[in-house]
Amino acid sequence: MERTLVLLKPGAVQRGYIGEIITRFEKKGLKLVGAKMMNLNDEILNEHYAHLADKAFFNDLKSFMKSNPVIALCWEGLDAVSVVRRICGTTNSRDAELGTIRGDLGMSGSANLVHASDILDNAKVEIKRFFLPEELFSYEMAFCNFLYSTDEISQ
């Protein structure tokens, strides 16, 4: 099973979509193994968005991410990284497929409601960036035999 990081960005918190977005991941069958509200600062954002440091929108992006608390979530499941990315939709909410979080709930390429790790290696780094080990939980889902096949549970 994989774990992946999701951030509910300031727009999701302000617009009252925390529950709606968490529900979409829960309904899909992902297991919530970590959750917390945080204020982000330059230190964590410079690290998190290092790949965008040379972009013209970098400072605006950081200001936006600092404008309100965010909710950090860690989700677990088979192929969780790619499943979660598909649930979120493509970066620009106006282009994102209907049925995705960004496609259904957003209009912006920057205030796009959610962050989700793009690949497994980055997910591992991002989960460590936002969660201490003791803030992550391991537990059995009682219905997991109805969610996965026996083969899939062991992956």
**Residue in 1, 35, 44, 61 binding ligand TYD, rule: CB under 6 A:** 61
Q: Determine if 115 is a binding residue for ligand TYD (CB under 6 A).
A: yes
Taking CA 48 as the corner, what is the angle to CA 118 and CA 66, rounded to the nearest 5 degrees? 120
Q: Which stretch binds ligand TYD (CB under 6 A): 18-26, 34-42, 93-101, 108-116?
A: 108-116
Q: Does the protein bind ligand TYD through residue 112 (CB under 6 A)?
A: yes
- 115 is annotated as an active-site residue: yes
Residue 109 as a binder of ligand TYD (CB under 6 A): the answer is yes
Least distance in Å: CB of 151 to ligand TYD? 31
20 phi-psi bin (left φ>0, alpha ψ -120 to 50, beta other) = alpha
In the chain, DSSP finds a helix count (H) and a strand count (E) of: 9, 4
| Residues 148, 74: Cα–Cα separation, whole Å | 20
Among 15, 57, 94, 145, binds ligand TYD (CB under 6 A): 57
Is residue 120 part of the contact set for ligand TYD (CB under 6 A)?
no
**Three-state DSSP class for 72?**
strand
